[in-house]
Structure 1
Amino acid sequence: MLGMAQIIAWGGSFYVMAVLAAPVSRETGWSQQWIYGALSLAILVSGMLAPLCGRIIARTGGRTMLAASGGVLAAGLVLVGLSHSLWLFLLAWTIIGVGMAMGLYDALFATLGTLYGGMARRAITSITLISGFCTTLVWPFCALLIEWLGWRHACFAYAALLVVSVLPACLFSLPAGGGRKISLVSNTTSGKQETIAQDLFWLLCAIFTLASVIMTAISVQLITLLQSQGYTLAAALALSAILGPCQVASRVVDMAFRRGHPLWTTLFSVGLVALGLLILLLFPHLAMPGMLLYGAGNGLRAIVRGTLPLALVKPEEYAIVAGRMARPALIGQALTPLIGGWVFQHFGAQATLLLLCALALINVLFTLLLKMRLPQQRAMPEKS
């Protein structure tokens, strides 16, 4: 139920713009830059509010906030449908950004980690497996709604879907109360540090931020990058379509190795992403295996976001730490379309791919540094 709620929540926020932007622009005459800028604004708002949401989850357990997120996202979509001026459209996406901070992956993972400690890993992996089908389900559904009802009434209809699905799913699936009230947590917290060392914290922030920036850049520019490598639009669309199944497949494989430390999942994730992008840059005719590798690595990224911090802190502290880590990653995501578009416009596709490969390799180095640092962290808990 939580996986389906995430599909609906992501579809009504982060992913809806892909099918909403064109009809909005046609009717209103607003530029695509301003329309997509509204999504960047929502992501930025989400990033700024992530630490506050983490503190609320640590105090309350997160159940009520997650349930309420559907209503906030719905209110934002209703305002989108009522927008006849650009400032109102931007305000609507600001409200959607609040709902994103309250109810998407970061908030859900923080809630599960607070409630169940180390036992949350299986739930996190299962939820990301289900929600991996988000774009496959949401984009055709939203396109059908827009074709049938028009984009304004489609927003109203999707808002109703958010209200009737997210609230009951969260209230039914999650127990009331905070993590300290769940007996399972007491069996998973022994031996963990009271707080995470600052150097580890910022290293994790860097790893998550670089991974989010690369994912956002590829999501926005992949079709254009493939076309610049000599592929037709149809071929580029076909290659892009394999990313979703690859992401889901990698999450299924991770479920089979869930007893291993999440650091190994992190190494596989950043390594596969870097290898896939390098193949695309150096061997354009091998774009399909490159996309297979990249898709598998990116599929593991969502799992790592939830499980790696969980292995390093106590469950009752997890929500606060996860909220603080989410802020730089989300801010990076918000800025990526602007910076990536500028790089592509001024330096071309090859330079853009080269920059993404460099970021991916730096992320591999950061992850190896984290691997070397972790044994020292465990050996010196009194200095944390």
Structure 2
Amino acid sequence: MPISHERRTIVTIALGTAQTLSWGSTYYLPAILAVPMAREFGISTDWVYGIFSVAMLMTAFMGPAVGRRIDRFGGRGILMVSSLVFATGLGLLGWSPNLPVFIAGWLIIGLGMGMGLYEAAFAALTAIYGTGARNSITGITLLAGFASTVCWPISAFVDAEMGWRATCYVWAVAHLVLALPIYVLMIPKELGEHTRPEASAAATDGAPLWNRQMILLAFAFAATWITSTAMAAHLPRLLEDAGATKTAAIAAAALVGPAQVAARVLEFSVLQRFHPLLSARLASITHPIGAAAVLLFGAPAAYFFTIIHGSGNGVMTIAKGTLPLAIFGPYGYGRRQGLLAAPSRFGQAASPFVFAVLIEHFGVGALMFTSGLCVAGFIAMMLLRTESSALERASV
């Protein structure tokens, strides 16, 4: 039975809310809690980011299998399980009496990230709406773009008042009382025609797993994801190294969320008329422009940098969901997303730790590394075609 426009809007708002919580309580957590965590366990913050990197590495191995399951059964069950896994991992972090248990908590969170972040949400929407998922993908990223803006101040406040362990407990409870009910009550069980086994088989039989388009896309996504992960983990610290005060650095970093949302509104209202490859190309070059301003002018350029970086990151997040759909179609979308995301996840796993080391040695000059990656990603985007052959459209 067709899903009404009103129902689709409800689903989009619900998923966007749950994604805001999922990102803010996991991916964005070390930026606020790494220092107090490291202090309590008597280790350096680099080690905390290293543990976080290992947790993220697990998502690279899980992606294709999770995506394949969503292609077949839809995303409702996977997303429900992710809430339970997130709550377990965060609860274990809060309780951790020693370093091994602390590491185990992060590894469990890594499992949840493999099941409960954007790739799974995008695949869930595509399983329901097929080629019509673009608006819904944009919608959930509009809401989840506020993850850092909302969750960084909450984490900082709870940490200051009750400590980092209480912060982890608060987020664990939030997954149980907010995200889990959303997935249980709001995600439709109905799936689109393209999810039927005979339809997917007809579209994918005999097709190669990788082709030129897939390789270019995977590289471009990896370059931008590595950069966004480095910024999510280190942005306040980086701005302080550029000369900003701690208060100004946090205030500037908090603008990433609104900038992401503003750019997504622009994509939804204006750029949606064009192929998503145009949006992706524009987004991939914004970080180097902002980084150049910080390297040249220091702290006075902090707000400009966070706004333009956030804008590009916001649009690119949408492109990571809509561009594979536009180029390859909905058949096997979840598995394809898992494959495309795997190189990104490997890069992301190393990004917080590597970038921490780069900041230690080069300070704000570490931005030259992320800028070079984004320029390379822009070149890959320029080499992509807006249309694929029939075989490429079927490849998963």
TM (norm. structure 2) is 0.85
1:308 alignment counterpart: 323
2:259 alignment counterpart: 246
How far off its partner does 1:220 sit?
3.4
Provide, for residues 317-361 of structure 1, a one-character-per-residue CA deviation record: whole Å limited to 9, x for no partner. 1000001111111111110122223333344533x2222222221
2:227 alignment counterpart: 214
Return the match for 1:110 from 123, 146, 149: 123
How far off its partner does 1:217 sit?
2.3
Provide, for residues 294-333 of structure 1, a one-character-per-residue CA deviation record: whole Å limited to 9, x for no partner. 2211111211111111112232310000011111111111
Return the match for 1:296 from 307, 311, 331: 311
Gaps of 5+ in 1: none
Q: Is the 8 A contact 1:67 1:167 kept in 2?
A: yes
Give the Cα separation in 2 of the matches to 1:229 and 1:71.
40
Gaps of 5+ in 2: 1-13
1:273/1:20 CA distance change after superposition, 3 Å: closer
Deviates more, 1:131-140 or 1:204-213: 131-140
Q: Is the 8 A contact 1:60 1:177 kept in 2?
A: no
How far off its partner does 1:194 sit?
6.8
Q: Say yes or no: does 1:17 pair with 2:44.
A: no
1:259 alignment counterpart: 273
1:198 alignment counterpart: 211
2:83 alignment counterpart: 70
1:338 alignment counterpart: 353
Give the Cα separation in 2 of the matches to 1:127 and 1:382.
25
Give the Cα separation in 1 of the matches to 2:86 and 2:361.
36
1:345/1:145 CA distance change after superposition, 3 Å: closer
Amino acid at match of 2:332: E
Amino acid at match of 2:274: G
Count of equivalent residues = 374
TM (norm. structure 1) is 0.87
1:79/1:234 CA distance change after superposition, 3 Å: closer
Give the Cα separation in 2 of the matches to 1:47 and 1:309.
18
Q: Say yes or no: does 1:270 pair with 2:292.
A: no
Provide, for residues 189-233 of structure 1, a one-character-per-residue CA deviation record: whole Å limited to 9, x for no partner. 99xx97775111111110100001111223334344444444444
Provide, for residues 263-314 of structure 1, a one-character-per-residue CA deviation record: whole Å limited to 9, x for no partner. 1110121122232223333454545434432221111121111111111223
1:238/1:341 CA distance change after superposition, 3 Å: same
How far off its partner does 1:383 sit?
10
Q: Is the 8 A contact 2:149 2:256 kept in 1?
A: no
Give the Cα separation in 2 of the matches to 1:252 and 1:344.
33
1:348/1:22 CA distance change after superposition, 3 Å: closer
1:202/1:149 CA distance change after superposition, 3 Å: same
Q: Is the 8 A contact 1:28 1:84 kept in 2?
A: no
1:116/1:379 CA distance change after superposition, 3 Å: closer
Give the Cα separation in 1 of the matches to 2:369 and 2:364.
10
RMSD: 2.8
Amino acid at match of 1:338: F
Give the Cα separation in 2 of the matches to 1:128 and 1:40.
23
How far off its partner does 1:5 sit?
0.8
Return the match for 2:364 from 349, 369, 373: 349
1:56 alignment counterpart: 69
Q: Is the 8 A contact 2:283 2:313 kept in 1?
A: yes
Amino acid at match of 2:57: L
Deviates more, 1:17-26 or 1:42-51: 17-26
Identity %: 37
